[in-house]
Structure 1
Amino acid sequence: KAFESVFGCVTCLPGCFTMYRIISEDDVPLISNDDVFAQYSRNDIESLHEKNLYHLGEDRMLTTLLLMCFPDMSLSFVPEAKCWTIVPHTFRILLSQRRRWINSTFHNMWELLKVEGLCGVCCFSMKTVVAADMIATMVLPASFLYAVYFVYTVIVQGTAMSETLVVIYAVTIGCQMLVFLLRSRWDYLLWFFMYLIFGVPVFFFILPVYSFWNMDDLSWGQTRQVAAEKGKSPGELISDEPAESDEPPVSGEPSGPSDSDEQGESGGGALAAADPELGGGMTAGKKLGRSETAPATDDSNPDDDNVHVLTTMAAV
């Protein structure tokens, strides 16, 4: 999201981490625009493509609709904002969550490519980034298998290494390690190697293949089912265990695993406010003015006025 924010076009504003500007400073309806409501409240969803858009990725589709209706707007990420959510704590829930994310993201990319006048920076268009992301999503499993084959042929069979591939892998891994070393984040080095060993097979192969294989599975995930099995209300999106953090979520109640892009952990939020004083990550372009970040609180006290403002606007 921080990278997309450079282009002024965050392609998904997570529902639990977002505030939308209702009207612009010139009293132009934004999130309350009739065209946005008409498209977002459709009840004639029939195709598999549309079901993945509206049923599995409704927050992502809302962002796309805003870009279609207001191509001169800027959707921004606010790293100073503090948000909380309960992340998936079992592989079963993670699997169902990633299935929703990957399928809704892939289908939403087709819609983003149709947006006229999509923003860009210098000579780079956001459409180019979206197209590259779509291609990368499709070839991730193949690239993982090729990497495994490459390591096998070099280490086991003793085949001479391609200098080009060595340079590519060295730059990819070396740049990340260099950043960790320069910032003296030695703990990141350990987790980086753990991710290479355990995370890459899961996120580069298992999850994409599972998601595409179950693209016609439009269920919202295992969270509700797990809650129902334990005697809880099927409609409750809560974790089996309370959050470890002593700081309450912004909404006042723990939310379930986040439904959108990679913003499951604490910190950072995509915000847009109805009041320019409150700050926002979605700014009406033209530039209808860039809003500032919402004032940070010292203790994230749920009784603090700023927290109540965030809760109220998110509910709207």
Structure 2
Amino acid sequence: MQSPRSQLHQEVQRDEDPAPQLPPLPLGEQTKIVPIPLRHPSHQLKHPLGSHPQRPSAESAASSRQDVATITAAEPTSRQARLEEFADMCNQSLPKTRPAVSPEFSKLGRRMVTQQKLLMIAGIICANFILIFASWYWPAYYYLYLPFITLTVALNCIMVFSVIFFSIKHRIFPEKIVMPTSPEQLVLLLPCYNENFEECTKSLDSLVAQQHLEANKKAIMIICDGRVRGAGMEKTTAQYLLDDILADRTLRRVVKGAYTAWDQQPMDATIQRGSYKGIPYFCIVKHQNQGKRDGLIALRSFLYKYNTRAEKPQMLFRPAFFAEMALFLADAGIEHVTHLVGMDADTVFADDCISELLKQSRYPGTVGVCGYVAVDFKGRNWNPWSLYQSSEYTISQGLRRLHQSIVTNKVSCLPGCCQLLKICEETCGDHVLVELFGYCPTPADNILKQIRATASEDRNHVCLMLSARPQSRTRQALRARALTDVPQSWSVFLSQRRRWTLGATANDLFLFKAPGVQWWERILAFANCMTWSLNLFIFASLASLIHACLFVPWWIILAFAAVMLTPLTYYICIAIWLPRNALERCQYLAGCAFYTFCGPFINISVLLYAIYNMDSFGWGKTRKVVSTDDSDDPEPVAVPTAAAVDEEAPAPARVPQPVSTYSEVVALVGAADDKRLAATFGAAYRTLVYEPHTADLARARALHSDPHLTVEVTAAEARLGMASLFLVATSSSSSVDEEGLDAVLRHARPGAVVVVLDGGALDAVDGILARYT
């Protein structure tokens, strides 16, 4: 019997087998095919995919200009001319071919992932219990077990002394700083999902309140991932942003197929621009939820393409969409974006946060900087949950991340809630951002690749960059403080830590085996993976240590205790130099006590919960959603009240559609009821079935709903502009859908082919020839 993996790869291989360039038509012997020469009206709307991306032509440039010109016909001539200029710089690339996702394909993928999860659980349990049994049954061979127990502690000791040494060294011999010749030009990015009015407003206000940036050109870009409403919210986050928070607006419009999402499907978006308390903003509301990663790819890629726009590079964006964003930056006085500052919508920056991030970015070779993320207590200064998580944040940032910053310059995680990236090839180039970070997994991918694609996207981006671009340097700015919300319940805490621990471990495993990784970071990655998988044994070894005191020489016990106490002593000393005042010092010390005594039990609970839910790739309970607005109306839509959904499941997302083997698009006009014709082309090509009568749309969509085919039923005649081959069918009564044929001739690209399929007589064809030729 074949394994699910072999079956999956056979499915992929079958999907990638070469298909005939033109499938045979299921037509009768009496059918006659008559080509019609096309005349192209000068006012027609052309689709931006009209020319091949590798061979830009005058027609494609004209297409881009007409696309923008049609949308902006009512706008001033100067703005229209600038939009056309930016649109000419856009060379939209075709979507990549992906395997068609059938129900059987998805089922095999889920089965394979489940089997991999069970194998990993069995391996972890066996390894832990074998070591526990061996350490108790053969205690005299304790030296064989010590490496498993003390490796992480020994590495922590080395990092403690390295941090002290390099801190003193940099005090005596300061590192070289490269000052910019002109003030940095900044884009401030705020990703949103289901945050409420207060969270979004506080985050935006903290961006506006930034100090020491008077000479810097800056603009705010907001991207909202879908239109959803969280628990306790009267509106969706998109409605709060567009109507309530960003009330000062100069433009709002819907852009169909604005860009190609990371799953290679077109993404519609509502855009709005204006000014928020004196700073220009550009808000993008995606009509479908595709995750934070998709939004980060789109915005980072845009900024890099904007900087290289004179080269007319290939990009993900429709010319009209790129032109609007580029015009926004130009109006803000930004000609070349130097840095992107990212935050989360539930985070608040300190007033000098961005200026401190900029200071650290001026060291040679630095392409990324993260700040110091602290817990926002919100008046609950002695809440045990907040104290524990606050000390956990401080210890991780005050030792390992600090060591990565000042010793190796390889900070492997730049948290998205407080992050600065230099816009360059290393961070935002197509290889790292689109090809590696932008890879959307298929059901045939293994569980580790699925985890890296859906959890800890900020860490994954940096790890991929450190491997693909080994010369890149990343740092931490401890003085750049950002306050963030933390879970206040056990269930939400477990859900959050499941994503974090699985994402960190999967990316550490990648760092351990990937090329180009710095040697010390490779050792740390291995130690982290080993410690994570042997957590149960390490906890049980504490009892073994007490038992070993009866027969192990005292000097060995003393040496072991000294190694164990060195990191703990450093943790206590952090209270001297990292907290800013007496209250923060007391909070940290109290949380450190919780961390020391309760940490092992919490870590084991997180481990067990994480491996049990290893095949759950959503956000779980961290971000609860109660409803989703899927309408295409850019105006506010009333959202009914619903009970909160609190379950371990992915956030609402569109179902990926099968992707055709070939990139050409075929349009069927007058054949909405011909299932056999649509199935023939839909098996190999992206196929549009044009049904102009909205009353018949539901019936036509039900008829062509086979998930194995790439068939789209539409009433929007502008979609016909994507097609390169048009099949216009006549009925047995020799009549033709003249409305459909007129739509074809209005939107067909130069060089497109129109084929009339006659049902038995040539009267209709003769009439068409007389009318249109």
How does the TM-score come out when normalised to structure 1?
A: 0.60
Question: What secondary structure sits across from 2:412 in the alignment?
Answer: coil
Quick check: which has more Rg, 1 or 2? 2
2 CA distance for matches of 1:105 and 1:142?
20
Query: Aligned in 2, Cα 1:159/1:213: closer, same or farther, shift over 3 Å?
Result: farther
2 CA distance for matches of 1:66 and 1:175?
30
2 CA distance for matches of 1:218 and 1:114?
23
Query: Aligned in 2, Cα 1:230/1:168: closer, same or farther, shift over 3 Å?
Result: farther
2 CA distance for matches of 1:190 and 1:226?
34
Query: Aligned in 2, Cα 1:168/1:188: closer, same or farther, shift over 3 Å?
Result: farther
1 CA distance for matches of 2:602 and 2:460?
26
> Is the Cα–Cα contact under 8 Å of residues 440 and 453 in structure 2 kept in the other structure?
no
More strand by share: 2
2 CA distance for matches of 1:219 and 1:186?
36
2 CA distance for matches of 1:199 and 1:171?
19
Question: Which residue in 1 is equivalent to 2:426?
Answer: 30
2 CA distance for matches of 1:58 and 1:22?
18
Query: Aligned in 2, Cα 1:232/1:118: closer, same or farther, shift over 3 Å?
Result: same
1 CA distance for matches of 2:560 and 2:439?
46
2 CA distance for matches of 1:141 and 1:188?
27
Q: Which runs of 5+ in 2 are unaligned?
A: 1-400, 577-581, 628-641, 653-773
Query: Aligned in 2, Cα 1:193/1:160: closer, same or farther, shift over 3 Å?
Result: farther
Question: What secondary structure sits across from 1:221 in the alignment?
Answer: coil
Question: Which residue in 2 is equivalent to 1:75?
Answer: 474
Question: Which residue in 2 is equivalent to 1:169?
Answer: 561
**Higher RCO (Cα < 8 Å, 6 or more apart):** 1
Read off the aligned partner of 1:38 and give its amino acid letter: E
| 2:599 counterpart (180, 184, 199) | 199
Query: In the alignment, does 2:131 pair up with 1:131?
Result: no
**Per-residue CA shift, 1:116-149, capped at 9, x if unaligned?**
33235xxxx3212222222222222211122145
Question: What secondary structure sits across from 1:82 in the alignment?
Answer: strand
How do 1:267-286 and structure 2 match up within 5 A? none
Percent identical: 23
1 CA distance for matches of 2:599 and 2:643?
29
> Is the Cα–Cα contact under 8 Å of residues 505 and 529 in structure 2 kept in the other structure?
yes
How do 1:45-84 and structure 2 match up within 5 A? 45=442, 46-84=445-483
2 CA distance for matches of 1:131 and 1:21?
29
| CA shift for structure 1 position 187 | 6.5
Question: What secondary structure sits across from 1:83 in the alignment?
Answer: strand
> Is the Cα–Cα contact under 8 Å of residues 625 and 651 in structure 2 kept in the other structure?
no
> Is the Cα–Cα contact under 8 Å of residues 404 and 410 in structure 2 kept in the other structure?
yes
Question: Which residue in 2 is equivalent to 1:114?
Answer: 513
Query: Aligned in 2, Cα 1:86/1:179: closer, same or farther, shift over 3 Å?
Result: closer
> Is the Cα–Cα contact under 8 Å of residues 92 and 222 in structure 1 kept in the other structure?
yes
Query: Aligned in 2, Cα 1:167/1:190: closer, same or farther, shift over 3 Å?
Result: farther
> Is the Cα–Cα contact under 8 Å of residues 56 and 100 in structure 1 kept in the other structure?
yes
Question: What secondary structure sits across from 2:530 in the alignment?
Answer: helix
Query: Aligned in 2, Cα 1:215/1:178: closer, same or farther, shift over 3 Å?
Result: closer
Query: In the alignment, does 2:147 pair up with 1:147?
Result: no
Query: Aligned in 2, Cα 1:235/1:7: closer, same or farther, shift over 3 Å?
Result: same
Read off the aligned partner of 2:482 and give its amino acid letter: C
| CA shift for structure 1 position 101 | 1.1
> Is the Cα–Cα contact under 8 Å of residues 8 and 119 in structure 1 kept in the other structure?
no
**Per-residue CA shift, 1:267-297, capped at 9, x if unaligned?**
xxxxxxxxxxxxxxxxxxxxxxxxxxxxxxx
> Is the Cα–Cα contact under 8 Å of residues 491 and 621 in structure 2 kept in the other structure?
yes
| CA shift for structure 1 position 96 | 0.9
| 2:421 counterpart (10, 14, 20) | 20
Question: Which residue in 1 is equivalent to 2:360?
Answer: none
Question: What secondary structure sits across from 1:96 in the alignment?
Answer: helix
Question: Which residue in 2 is equivalent to 1:98?
Answer: 497
Query: In the alignment, does 2:437 pair up with 1:40?
Result: yes
| CA shift for structure 1 position 63 | 0.8
> Is the Cα–Cα contact under 8 Å of residues 141 and 208 in structure 1 kept in the other structure?
no
Query: Aligned in 2, Cα 1:43/1:87: closer, same or farther, shift over 3 Å?
Result: same
> Is the Cα–Cα contact under 8 Å of residues 470 and 517 in structure 2 kept in the other structure?
yes
> Is the Cα–Cα contact under 8 Å of residues 180 and 186 in structure 1 kept in the other structure?
no
**Per-residue CA shift, 1:72-119, capped at 9, x if unaligned?**
010111111121211111111111111111111111122212333323
1 CA distance for matches of 2:430 and 2:616?
31
Question: What secondary structure sits across from 2:482 in the alignment?
Answer: coil
CA RMSD of aligned residues (A): 3.3
1 CA distance for matches of 2:566 and 2:618?
40
Query: Aligned in 2, Cα 1:188/1:149: closer, same or farther, shift over 3 Å?
Result: farther
1 CA distance for matches of 2:570 and 2:474?
31
| CA shift for structure 1 position 231 | 4.5
Query: Aligned in 2, Cα 1:224/1:165: closer, same or farther, shift over 3 Å?
Result: same
| CA shift for structure 1 position 188 | 5.3
Query: Aligned in 2, Cα 1:207/1:165: closer, same or farther, shift over 3 Å?
Result: farther
Question: Which residue in 2 is equivalent to 1:278?
Answer: none
| 2:616 counterpart (199, 217, 223) | 217
Question: Which residue in 2 is equivalent to 1:180?
Answer: 572
2 CA distance for matches of 1:149 and 1:11?
34
Bigger drift between 159-168 and 41-50 goes to: 159-168
2 CA distance for matches of 1:117 and 1:67?
7
How many residue pairs match? The answer is 222
Read off the aligned partner of 1:147 and give its amino acid letter: L
Q: Which runs of 5+ in 1 are unaligned?
A: 24-28, 237-316
| CA shift for structure 1 position 201 | 1.4
Query: Aligned in 2, Cα 1:166/1:76: closer, same or farther, shift over 3 Å?
Result: same
Query: Aligned in 2, Cα 1:227/1:60: closer, same or farther, shift over 3 Å?
Result: farther
Query: Aligned in 2, Cα 1:86/1:178: closer, same or farther, shift over 3 Å?
Result: closer
> Is the Cα–Cα contact under 8 Å of residues 141 and 209 in structure 1 kept in the other structure?
no
1 CA distance for matches of 2:464 and 2:418?
18
2 CA distance for matches of 1:107 and 1:96?
17
How does the TM-score come out when normalised to structure 2?
A: 0.26
Read off the aligned partner of 1:117 and give its amino acid letter: G
Read off the aligned partner of 1:193 and give its amino acid letter: A
Read off the aligned partner of 1:218 and give its amino acid letter: F
> Is the Cα–Cα contact under 8 Å of residues 502 and 614 in structure 2 kept in the other structure?
yes
> Is the Cα–Cα contact under 8 Å of residues 13 and 59 in structure 1 kept in the other structure?
yes
> Is the Cα–Cα contact under 8 Å of residues 402 and 476 in structure 2 kept in the other structure?
yes
